[in-house]
Structure 1
Amino acid sequence: MSDASTTIARTVPTRRPGRLKDFWSSFRENRGAVIGLYVFAAFVLIAIGADILAPYDPTAQHRAFTLVPPVWQDGGTWQFPLGTDPLGRDMLSRLLHGARFSFFVGIVVVVVAASGGIMIGLIAGFAPRWLDTIIMRIMDIILAFPSLLLALALVAILGPSLINAMIAIALVLQPHYVRLTRASVLNERGKDYVVSARVAGAGLLRLMFITVLPNCLGPIIVQAALSFSTAILDAAALGFLGMGAQPPTPEWGTMLAEAREFILRAWWVVTLPGVAILVTVLAINLMGDGLRDALDPKLKRS
């Protein structure tokens, strides 16, 4: 009987959940992170389908309907559910298209900052001590400046535009990826699997990109999620200061800048873009916390 049981146990392998299933089971334990993921997904769908969902062109001016309040306020109309701005442009249409610009900024900034930061961090982690020291001191100098102030200075040099704002924000965020990647690489370099690969004859590039980098992606993914929200905030701040997207671009920060003089007369032209920024950034930060808990084995619940 025992022999038969042993044979069955050997022939029927024990199923282990896949990595994706294991990740999702850990991620969904954080309800705030799941809510943030759903809100983030909703904003992504809105950004993709803005042309279909928006009732009007975001730059179209309806001069006869300037500063019309939202539908739930006296004087509002269903023609403009969220009201209009000082030039008679539909707030709903501008908010929907603003999501597209904000997410475009976030994606571009994260891709550029992460790509450059990971590359420099890998080089610093495998470089001789003198080169590592030079790289990290340069990163420390960049981090010594207030991030928004440095981005503002770079945009002032490059010229005010959305593209230049994205370049400046990416350069400002890059040192965070450099330091994080370097720390992860130094932590992994002395482990047995790296030593075995080196003894087996693996070249430097193979060690960097094939052996070590995949085991450093957990914290980098978390940093990318949090940087996404930082990029949206910085782009909105630069737009508010007139150094980011330029009118009539329906970017949330630019919308705030255009409407700040009407804050007492027409609260919705300032409140609605601010709420959109708040909800988006909060959702991304909640999702980033869930990613951190799911990807860091030390934080997983037993």
Structure 2
Amino acid sequence: MADATAQTAPTTPARPGRFKEFWRYFRENKGAVVGLYIFAAFLLLALFAGLIAPHDPLVQYRSATLVPPAWQEGGTWSYILGTDPLGRDMLSRLLYGARYSFVVGVVVVILASTGGILLGLISGFAPKWLDTFIMRLMDIILSFPALLLALVLVAILGPSLVNAMIAIAIAYQPHYVRLTRAAVIAERSKDYVISAKVAGARLPRLMFITVLPNCLAPIIVQAALSFSNAILDVAALGFLGMGAQPPTPEWGTMLAEAREFILRAWWVVTFPGLAILITVIAINLMGDGLRDALDPKLKRS
């Protein structure tokens, strides 16, 4: 009897896993997939820079200053992308510079999102006076251009890569606060939140366990965009001499050291600039794909 019941019971099609569903929507955006592959390639180059780089990025070969790339007349295959004004190998410095760029992006996103999400949750559940105070403070920070605010903060803290990351994280934090607050306000009036309140859930549980997981989709997209902006802004600070300091092989610092030789040696500015450009474009394309895959309004059945 039990076997007959089991055989006649209706079967419902299994719902695809979350990752499979996410990937199905993500790969519909061809640009996002290309950006993902480029990002993965740069990430692998950064991780294995110690094995791939043909030279030490800090060693100066004084007999090989401003050597052109291998395929240009006068170049040599010992320096595939040429050397800089101090005789350091450009390819090695670019590979190690990718490490600094990715570390910068990760640290800035972690600092900005952690503080921003916490303040956004507090603002979304706080009394009106505290919510108003937090949001007006964020409005004051947003009234300054992010790069200008970061430049002022680095000038106060002192020029270094660590201080540049802290300054940029502070400049990006209001975006996470406003985004999280808006998502919390939209979620807290829904039935599942009211049910949790009736069941006796305490405020910390409501904030971090009940509501926050349902607010992560737009925050993840913002994190991807912040990652690329952080790389760009740290490069700008390095170019201005307020970020990573020489001889650190950071892309913005490499541009700053080579700006006097733009006309004499095109490669010393072209390759770091291309590295920044390609990385930022790839991450932005990924951000578009994340938005398409995570925003239910953009999903097509």
Structure 2 vs 1, CA of residues 9 and 95 (structure 1 numbering), >3 Å: closer, same or farther? farther
1:196 is matched with: 195
Give the corresponding residue for 1:229. Answer: 228
Query: Which amino acid in the other structure matches residue 104 of structure 1?
Result: V
Aligned to 2:155: 156
Matches of 1:289 and 1:37, distance apart in 2:
11
Q: TM-score, normalised by structure 1?
A: 0.97
1:65-103 per-residue CA deviation (whole Å, 9 max, x = no partner) reads: 100011111111101000000000000000000000000
Q: What is the identity, as a one-letter code, of the residue corresponding to 1:169? A: I
State the one-letter code of the partner of 1:63. R
Q: Distance in 1 between matches of 2:293 and 2:264?
A: 46
- 1:285: Cα distance to partner? 0.1
Q: Which runs of 5+ in 2 are unaligned?
A: none
**Which residue in 2 is equivalent to 1:10?**
9
Higher mean Cα deviation, 247-256 or 37-46? 37-46
Q: Which residue of 2 aligns with 1:25?
A: 24
Distance in 1, Cα, partners of 2:134 & 2:166: 20
What does 1:49-198 align with in structure 2 at a 5 Å threshold? 49-198=48-197
Instruction: List structure 1 segments (4+ residues) > 4 angstroms apart after TM superposition.
Output: 4-7
Indicate the residue corresponding to 2:294 in structure 1: 295
Give me the whole-angstrom Cα distance separating, in 2, the residues matched to 1:75 and 1:138.
58
Deviations 1:27-49 (A, max 9, x none): 00001000101111111111111
| Alpha-carbon distance in structure 1 between the residues aligned to 2:234 and 2:113 | 17
Q: Give, in whole Å, the separation in 2 of the partners of 1:152 and 1:138.
A: 19
**Aligned letter for 1:142?**
I
Match in the other structure for 2:283: 284
* Residue 7 of structure 1: how far off its partner (Å): 5.4
Give the length in aligned residue pairs. Answer: 299
Q: Cα distance, 1:175 vs. partner? A: 0.4
CA distance in 2: counterparts of 1:125 and 1:12, whole angstroms: 42
Distance (Å, rounded) in 2 between the aligned partners of 1:154 and 1:9: 70
SS in 1 for 2:9: helix
- Give the distance between the partners of 2:209 and 2:193, measured in 1 at CA: 10
- Deviation per CA, 1:242-282, whole angstroms, max 9, x where unpaired? 00000000000000000001000001000100000000000
1:244 lines up with 2:243 in the alignment:
yes
Counterpart amino acid of residue 232 in structure 1: I
Structure 1's unaligned 5+ residue stretches are none
> Aligned-pair distance for 1:13?
4.4
TM-score by length of 2: 0.97
C-alpha separation in 2, matches of 1:112 and 1:70? 39
- C-alpha separation in 1, matches of 2:262 and 2:127: 56
